[in-house]
Amino acid sequence: MSLDNETGLDKPGIRVRPVTGLVAADYFVPGYFVWAVLIANLARIGYEEKTMYMAAYDWRLSFQNTEVRDQTLSRIKSNIELLVATNGGNRVVVIPHSMGVLYFLHFMKWVEAPPPMGGGGGPNWCAKHIKAVMNIGGPFLGVPKAVAGLFSSEAKDVAVARAIAPDVLDSDFLGLQTLRHLMRMTRTWDSTMSMIPKGGDTIWGDLNWSPEDGFECKAKKQKTNDSEISKDVNGENVKVQPEPVNYGRLVSFGKEIAEAPSSEIEQIEFRDAVKGRNIAHSNTSCRDIWTEYQELGWGGIKAVADYKVYTAGSIVDLLHFVAPRMMERGSVHFSYGIADNLDDPKYGHYKYWSNPLETKLPKAPDMEIFSMYGVGIPTERAYVYKLAQQAECYIPFQIDTSAEGGDENSCFKGGVYLANGDETVPVLSAGYMCAKGWRGKTRFNPSGSKTYVREYNHSPPSNLLEGRGTQSGAHVDIMGNFALIEDIIRIAAGATGEELGGDQVYSDIFKWSEKIKLKL
């Protein structure tokens, strides 16, 4: 599954390719559905193989390289044109999920851009061919989880497993070294870099501020007659103050740094630090699990920890420092900033096409865009790290799972700060563009394509017989959510966003969007 570390394409002599057709993603493994429930429901209203097309792509590659190697973008273009031509000119409804949301954003720019970089469809291609784009669980602005994955091959679930059984994932016994093999592999997948948070501190917040400030994590749903008042030992009423959470601090070294006033944090610049002696450079046992951390040395590791706290604005520099070859390869294909002037010719380059803050939506005023995602599940938003035990071939940083919040209602659990989302994508990333960035005529949506936010409040299955639940808001399980499926079927049967009822919102996405000071 690893790709070539220099080119981001196939390793010599190895070819792994995506399955094609509807079976490409109906089930992940037998019994674990992905698209199967939705496909079956679309079939009930008359859809079949000739009116449905599964756009399978190699999700390891950068989006532009799927075209270079497999002509995937060209195949999507010709298949959409065929669907429209053979169905009386009716435009298509596109349903991307997760990373596919970013991939289709890239496609909409590629298809209209002139060759050789683009597909040559011309400026009206999307208006002519696409009725609606129904984005499910879209990480439009990236996910903090990607930072933890690239930085230490962890996320909340892996960090917990590592804490419970450290000798399994970190063991050198029998050459298991699971996390290091995982890092070596995933750092060859250019697509992982598409998920790094976009928009810097303007979107995600800084040392002192974040849009979600004031969000409260509750262990249970509050009933209407519950109060936020508790009693002290003498029976007197005491107002419970929620813990302050600094979501803008995406990576902090130590809980005390995550919570300290910014004026008390002394940061030592890491960007120009001299990397120390090569760790295990001559150790042949490390060759099979070689990561760029072996070249960082003690000096580089210390420099990273001494900077103490990283926001979305400094995360990209951090990743350039700890994984320079990976990021050099990735920076050809992806960008994470905010465009000052979208008419600047440089934004015609494909590396900007999957960043909604550095590109315009197509000129398609009748095309509708939906942001559909689950809410009500604690979702990874920021991390507290510590230095790992020093050893050869090791990953020097790990999430500090021993760091905890004050009580069961804390947003801080096992070294991870949690916010509202679908367990993978925070509300901020999934909802902001449709709630504010593209709402009405903005510089990112100059033709005023209509946008809708459709949130689905998570309700877990009440018993084991319900399987993964029909009201789930979880990132993958939402594909079986009856309310989401009904919305898609109605649009696929000809309805508009207005006829669905417009926005359906349970979170504070509109309030949070207002706090973001982005020129629209």
What CA–CA distance (Å, rounded) separates 432 from 442? 13
What CA–CA distance (Å, rounded) separates 360 from 444? 4
202 to each of 269, 354, 429, 435, 514, how far by Cα in Å? Answer: 21, 18, 13, 16, 12
Q: Is 475 part of the annotated catalytic residue set? A: yes
* Closest alpha carbon to 435 in 503, 388, 492: 503
What CA–CA distance (Å, rounded) separates 92 from 51? 9
Q: 97, 106, 129, 475: which one is catalytic?
A: 475
The sign of the torsion formed by the CA atoms of 231, 236, 237, 242 equals: negative
CB atoms within 10 A of CB 24: 14
User: DSSP string of 23-56?
Assistant: GGSSEEETTEESSHHHHHHHHHTT--TTT-----
Which one-letter amino acid corresponds to residue 174?
A: L
Omega before 197 within 30 of 0, i.e. cis: no
Q: 58, 62, 97, 98: which one is catalytic?
A: 98
What CA–CA distance (Å, rounded) separates 3 from 66? 13
What CA–CA distance (Å, rounded) separates 305 from 254? 10
Q: Is 344 part of the annotated catalytic residue set? A: no
Residues 2, 185: contact at Cβ < 8 Å? yes
What CA–CA distance (Å, rounded) separates 119 from 90? 21
Residues 139, 380: contact at Cβ < 8 Å? no
Give 17's contacts (C-beta < 8 A, 6+ positions apart): 58, 70
Bridge partners, residue 309, by sequence:
252
What CA–CA distance (Å, rounded) separates 183 from 485? 36
Q: 422, 477, 487, 508: which one is catalytic?
A: 422
Residue where the block lists tokens 């309700």: 459
Alpha helices in 57-173 (DSSP H): 63-70, 72-85, 99-112, 125-129, 144-152, 156-164, 166-169
- Token pair recorded at residue 295: 């070249």
What CA–CA distance (Å, rounded) separates 114 from 153? 38
Residues 422, 474: contact at Cβ < 8 Å? yes
Give 491's contacts (C-beta < 8 A, 6+ positions apart): 93, 131, 132, 134, 368, 370, 497, 500
What CA–CA distance (Å, rounded) separates 275 from 144? 26
Residue where the block lists tokens 């040559």: 120
Positions annotated as catalytic residues are 98, 422, 475
